[in-house]
Amino acid sequence: MKARIIVTLKTGVLDPQGKAIEAALRSLGIEGVDGVRQGKVFDIEVSAADGAAAEATLRAACEKLLANTVVENYAIEIL
Protein backbone atom coordinates (compact mmCIF):
# COMPACT_ATOMS: atom_id res chain seq x y z
CA MET A 1 0.00 0.00 0.00
CA LYS A 2 1.37 3.44 -0.90
CA ALA A 3 1.07 6.49 1.30
CA ARG A 4 2.23 10.07 1.43
CA ILE A 5 3.10 11.89 4.65
CA ILE A 6 3.30 15.68 4.65
CA VAL A 7 5.09 17.33 7.57
CA THR A 8 4.75 21.08 8.11
CA LEU A 9 5.66 23.52 10.83
CA LYS A 10 2.87 24.44 13.22
CA THR A 11 1.32 27.88 12.95
CA GLY A 12 3.32 30.38 14.97
CA VAL A 13 6.63 28.51 14.66
CA LEU A 14 9.24 30.64 12.93
CA ASP A 15 10.31 29.34 9.53
CA PRO A 16 13.66 30.89 8.53
CA GLN A 17 14.00 28.59 5.52
CA GLY A 18 10.57 29.66 4.29
CA LYS A 19 11.59 33.33 4.66
CA ALA A 20 14.80 32.65 2.71
CA ILE A 21 12.81 30.99 -0.10
CA GLU A 22 10.39 33.92 -0.16
CA ALA A 23 13.29 36.39 -0.45
CA ALA A 24 14.95 34.30 -3.17
CA LEU A 25 11.73 34.25 -5.21
CA ARG A 26 11.52 38.04 -4.99
CA SER A 27 15.17 38.39 -6.04
CA LEU A 28 14.38 36.24 -9.09
CA GLY A 29 11.61 38.65 -10.06
CA ILE A 30 8.73 36.43 -8.98
CA GLU A 31 6.18 38.81 -7.50
CA GLY A 32 2.97 38.19 -5.61
CA VAL A 33 4.32 35.59 -3.18
CA ASP A 34 3.32 36.82 0.27
CA GLY A 35 4.44 33.92 2.40
CA VAL A 36 6.30 30.62 2.17
CA ARG A 37 6.23 27.78 4.69
CA GLN A 38 8.68 24.95 4.06
CA GLY A 39 7.92 21.32 4.85
CA LYS A 40 8.78 17.70 4.06
CA VAL A 41 7.06 15.02 1.98
CA PHE A 42 7.60 11.28 2.46
CA ASP A 43 6.31 8.71 -0.04
CA ILE A 44 6.22 5.36 1.74
CA GLU A 45 5.16 1.84 0.82
CA VAL A 46 3.63 -0.11 3.69
CA SER A 47 2.76 -3.79 3.97
CA ALA A 48 -0.58 -3.81 5.78
CA ALA A 49 -3.80 -5.78 5.70
CA ASP A 50 -5.98 -2.67 5.31
CA GLY A 51 -5.99 1.11 5.39
CA ALA A 52 -6.51 1.31 9.14
CA ALA A 53 -3.49 -0.89 9.84
CA ALA A 54 -1.38 1.10 7.38
CA GLU A 55 -2.43 4.37 8.98
CA ALA A 56 -1.57 3.05 12.46
CA THR A 57 1.90 2.05 11.26
CA LEU A 58 2.46 5.40 9.58
CA ARG A 59 1.19 7.33 12.60
CA ALA A 60 3.73 5.48 14.76
CA ALA A 61 6.48 6.33 12.25
CA CYS A 62 5.53 10.00 12.38
CA GLU A 63 5.31 10.15 16.16
CA LYS A 64 8.64 8.35 16.65
CA LEU A 65 10.80 9.64 13.79
CA LEU A 66 9.39 11.57 10.84
CA ALA A 67 7.88 14.56 12.65
CA ASN A 68 8.90 16.56 15.69
CA THR A 69 5.39 16.86 17.09
CA VAL A 70 6.40 19.71 19.39
CA VAL A 71 6.82 22.07 16.41
CA GLU A 72 5.45 20.11 13.41
CA ASN A 73 2.11 18.80 12.21
CA TYR A 74 1.76 15.83 9.88
CA ALA A 75 -0.90 14.52 7.54
CA ILE A 76 -1.17 10.94 6.28
CA GLU A 77 -2.70 10.22 2.89
CA ILE A 78 -3.24 6.64 1.72
CA LEU A 79 -2.77 6.66 -2.07
Confidence grade of residue 15 (pLDDT, cut at 50, 70, 90): very high
pTM: 0.85
DSSP assignments along 24-74, one per residue: HHHHTT---------EEEEEEE---SSHHHHHHHHHHHIIIII--TTTEEE
Element (H, E) at 79: none
23-65: per-residue pLDDT in tens? 999 999 999 999 999 999 999 999 998 999 999 999 999 999 9
